[in-house]
Amino acid sequence: MPHVLPDLPFAKDALAPHISAETLEYHYGKHHQTYVTNLNKMITGTEFESLSLEDIIKKASGGIFNNAAQVYNHTFYWRGLKASGAGRPDGALLEAIEVAFGSFDAFKELFSTAAVTQFGSGWAWLVKTAEGSLAIEATANADTPLREGKTPLLTCDVWEHAYYIDYRNARPKYVESFWNLVNWDFVAANFSG
Amino acid sequence: MAHTLPELTYSYDALEPYIDKDTMSIHHTKHHQAYITKLVGALEGHADLADKSAEELISDLAAVPEGIRGAVRNHGGGHANHSFFWALLRKDVKYAGPAADAITADLGGLDQFKEKFAAAAIGQFGSGWAWLVLSDGKLEITATPNQDSPLSAGKKPIIGLDVWEHAYYLKYQNRRPEYVDAFFNVVNWEKVNELYLAAR
């Protein structure tokens, strides 16, 4: 069954001015679509053809892994964003963040540092480990915590294509703006799910 | 030695329409400068490394203390790779000379070179570089991730192409193959000959 590009959970202009409609035209319409197209081409006639995206990510390597993981990572990234997302987590999620990082502000700072300092292309993540605690990590290129048996809660794409149209070289400004867009309901659902 | 941003020997618009003025300006003044600033920061307090150029540092990473080895590899590599790249670019230079002869001998000719080099550049997943290097007296094509340099593997770079998205996104967006194709119009083959003869 071919993999398909999921609909964006918001309008292309909904995240402006933090992420422009033009960025989303390319990032969703070209980059994400290309990963889907490449994945479908590469798995045709292979043992991966009938597997779910998650199973491909766990079992594949090389180009098939790269494209499958990028399909997953981008879908996850979009779902973690919304217009006017500048809120804060609450309840059990906030408690877990405070236990793991000391405070919500300390969490934001650590996550931002992970995003800004990931050298080259990659992703910053908030994850729930197999033991149930929260951790921040950064992954290179297509790498995803899903493969390590961790539960992703939130991600920020720091490939240059995610921010170059809007911010050029200023990755820290993009990461700062990211905090205006976080869909905390999605993060909380991942945490409790 | 002082690590400073090299001046370009041409204007930011000299490579139009293949590489645009805005990209050249940001790439040189922001990206390249940031590598230099971070390299200088990493080397602070390491007086024994103060005399070494970025090229010398990345040619012998084992001699760099472990605590700053990653930063020197990334930012020293970024500095050296970008300096190399700028010096390599010029429009309308004729393909001829000893490097061209070696490309024919080792790779089969210009068309084969372009095809293999483009495949390396397009196939480098994520950020990185495509290279024509001299290795054990032979030309070969390779690619490196991020700011890794062939110098760290004992190979001499002859041609390098930056395929970080910042090198082409303003003009080509997701279309890396178009950027790679355009690059072949701005290879300064006189510089390539010079590098090849020095490396041989």
Tens digits of residue pLDDT in A91-128? 999 999 999 999 999 999 999 999 999 999 999 999 99
* Beta-carbon count within 10 A of B142 CB: 17
Q: Which long-range contacts (CB under 8 A, 24 or more apart) does A94-101 make?
A: A96/A133, A96/A134, A96/A191, A97/A134, A99/A133, A99/A134, A100/A133, A100/A134, A100/A135, A101/A134, A101/A136
Measure in Å the smallest separation between the Cα of A120 and chain B Cα atoms: 6
- What is the average per-residue pLDDT within A123-150? 96
How many whole angstroms separate alpha carbon A22 and alpha carbon B164?
20
Asked whether residue A193 carries a pLDDT value surpassing 90, the answer given is: no
Predicted local confidence at residue A73, as pLDDT = 98
How many whole angstroms separate alpha carbon B114 and alpha carbon B134?
16
Residue in B closest to A30 by C-alpha: B174
Predicted local confidence at residue B1, as pLDDT = 72
* B129 contacts in chain A (CB < 8 Å): none
Three-state secondary structure call for residue A20: coil
Task: Tell which phi-psi region holds residue B177, choosing left (phi > 0), alpha (psi between -120 and 50) or beta.
Answer: alpha
Asked whether residue A132 carries a pLDDT value surpassing 80, the answer given is: yes
**A168 and chain B: CB distance < 8 Å anywhere?**
yes
Tens digits of residue pLDDT in A35-72? 999 999 999 999 999 999 999 999 999 999 999 999 99
Cβ burial A45-69 (10 Å sphere, 16+ → b, else e): eeebeebebeebbbebeeebbbbbb
* B165 contacts in chain A (CB < 8 Å): 121, 159-161, 164
Contact A26 B30 (CB under 8 A): no
Predicted local confidence at residue B31, as pLDDT = 98
Measure in Å the smallest separation between the Cα of A40 and chain B Cα atoms: 18
Asked whether residue A86 carries a pLDDT value surpassing 90, the answer given is: no
Q: Which of A34, A119, A164 sits opposite B146 (nearest CB)?
A: A119
Tens digits of residue pLDDT in A151-168? 999 999 999 999 999 999
SS3 string, chain B, reads CCCCCCCCCCCCCCCCCCCCHHHHHHHHHHHHHHHHHHHHHHHCCCHHHCCCCHHHHHHCHHHCCHHHHHHHHHHHHHHHHHHHHHHHECCCCCCCCHHHHHHHHHHCCHHHHHHHHHHHHHHCCCCEEEEEEEECCEEEEEEEECCCCHHHHCCEEEEEEECCHHHCHHHHCCCHHHHHHHHHHHECHHHHHHHHHHHC
Asked whether residue A137 carries a pLDDT value surpassing 80, the answer given is: yes
Predicted local confidence at residue A87, as pLDDT = 86
Measure in Å the smallest separation between the Cα of B179 and chain A Cα atoms: 15
**A119 and chain B: CB distance < 8 Å anywhere?**
yes
* B127 contacts in chain A (CB < 8 Å): 120-121, 160
Contact A34 B170 (CB under 8 A): no
Predicted local confidence at residue B195, as pLDDT = 98
Predicted local confidence at residue B129, as pLDDT = 98
How many whole angstroms separate alpha carbon B8 and alpha carbon B5?
9
How many whole angstroms separate alpha carbon B128 and alpha carbon A71?
21
Predicted local confidence at residue A85, as pLDDT = 83
pLDDT tens, position by position, for chain B (200 residues)? 799 999 999 999 999 999 999 999 999 999 999 999 999 999 999 999 999 999 999 999 999 999 999 999 999 999 999 999 999 999 999 999 999 999 999 999 999 999 999 999 999 999 999 999 999 999 999 999 999 999 999 999 999 999 999 999 999 999 999 999 999 999 999 999 999 999 99
**Token pair recorded at residue A192:** 């409790």
**Predicted interface score ipTM higher than 0.90:** yes
How many whole angstroms separate alpha carbon B13 and alpha carbon B19?
8
In the block, tokens 């990659």 appear at A122
Contact A120 B164 (CB under 8 A): yes
Three-state secondary structure call for residue A154: strand
Contact B26 A168 (CB under 8 A): yes
